Amino acid sequence: MTSAPLIGWIGAGRMGVPMAGFILKAGYSVIVFSRSAASRQKLVSQGAREAGSAGECARAADIVFTSLPDDATLRAVALGPQGVLAAARSGAIFADTSTVSTEVSGEIEREAKQRGIAYLRIPISGNAASAQRGEVTALVSGPLPAWNSVRPVVEAFSKAQVYLGEGEQARIMKLVVNLLVVNLAQALAEGLALGRKAGLDWGQMLDTIAQSTVASPWLKAKAALLKQRDFTVTMSTRLILKDLDLMLATARASDVPLPLTAATRQLMQALIGEGYGEEDYMSAVKLLEKQSGLTELEVQQQKD
């Protein structure tokens, strides 16, 4: 591509809107499609052109990005009769940023090859807050020449990019990263419940954790939010449950035991059963407090 490519963006959710917004700020022309009219308009107001369908978006673009919630949605958007691969021209690049299974990813790869379309897997490590700051990490696998063409666009919305190989390596790497995050979340929730039950001060406990040997950028960020009892959704419990199911399915296929992750899945399922499905997955803190006999009022009083 000798001139700046036209970027297609399909899926304008909590992650997609800010990432596409950074592409617009970098000076690229963007055509966007999302089932949510409100989400589309957020990008149109920043200078994007609106497409009437995923196919229209893909037909116009040189590089098509998707940011979608699950296997079923990606399969429909990518492989449907009016989808990305049916509409995109030969020589285009299709880059998916979703967290999905290697099975659906493999289906897309096979169809893309038949149509002369380069397929990149670019799952994103980060959340809505880091996406808004342009601080996500892009995990990349697929044809290297296609990645070399797309990299400047991805650099517009990410702080780091890691190329992992020609196949499904990025999909697996994303599951590894999320496995660590969700298990750390359960460990943090359990530790906080234990400390509160023993009478530790809420704020002092979180300050200490953030300065301890286990502190990490993720833990420090979560500690700062939890100190204020801020459970703003970064990733919903229902969405992290989907990721856990992907981890466990991948482990079963590879004969890898994941006992801790299996236990964490049960906690997330319990959260959904208690009505926290659309809340942030760190609501595990609230559930364990409740199960420990600490009411929200008691926690608030101790925080004050």
Please count the CA atoms within 13 angstroms of the CA of 242 that sit on its side-chain side: 16
Extended beta strands in the chain, E state? 7-10, 30-33, 49-50, 63-66, 93-96, 118-121, 124-125, 136-140, 158-163
Confirm if 73 and 100 have CB atoms less than 8 A apart. Answer: no
Query: What percent of the chain shows pLDDT beyond 70?
Result: 97
**pLDDT digit string (tens) for 227-266?**
999 999 999 999 999 999 999 999 999 999 999 999 999 9
Backbone angles phi, psi at 10, to 5 degrees: -120, 120
What is the pLDDT, as a whole number, of residue 2?
Answer: 53
What is the pLDDT, as a whole number, of residue 34?
Answer: 94
The span from the CA of 227 to the CA of 206, in Å, is 6
Q: DSSP for 216-276?
A: -HHHHHHHHHHHTT----SSBHHHHHHHHHHHHHHHHHHT---HHHHHHHHHHHHHHHTT-
pLDDT at 78 over 70: yes
E strand or H helix at 77, and its extent? helix 71-79
Coil, helix or strand for 15?
coil
**pLDDT digit string (tens) for 254-300?**
999 999 999 999 999 999 999 999 999 999 999 999 999 997 744 45
pLDDT at 146 over 50: yes
What is the pLDDT, as a whole number, of residue 301?
Answer: 46
For the chain, list the domains and their CATH numbers. 7-167 (3.40.50.720), 172-303 (1.10.1040.10)
Burial of 133 (0-12, 13-18, 19+ CB in 10 A): exposed
Average of per-residue pLDDT values in the chain: 94
Size (the chain), residues: 304
pLDDT at 302 over 50: no
What is the pLDDT, as a whole number, of residue 3?
Answer: 81
Does 167 or 300 have the greater pLDDT score? 167
Mean pLDDT, rounded, for 164-174: 98
**pLDDT digit string (tens) for 5-50?**
999 999 999 999 999 999 999 999 999 999 988 989 999 999 999 9
pLDDT at 118 over 70: yes
pLDDT at 64 over 60: yes
Query: What percent of the chain shows pLDDT beyond 90?
Result: 93
Hey, which residues does 137 pair with through a beta bridge?
A: 125, 160
Residue 304's pLDDT band (cuts 50, 70, 90) = very low
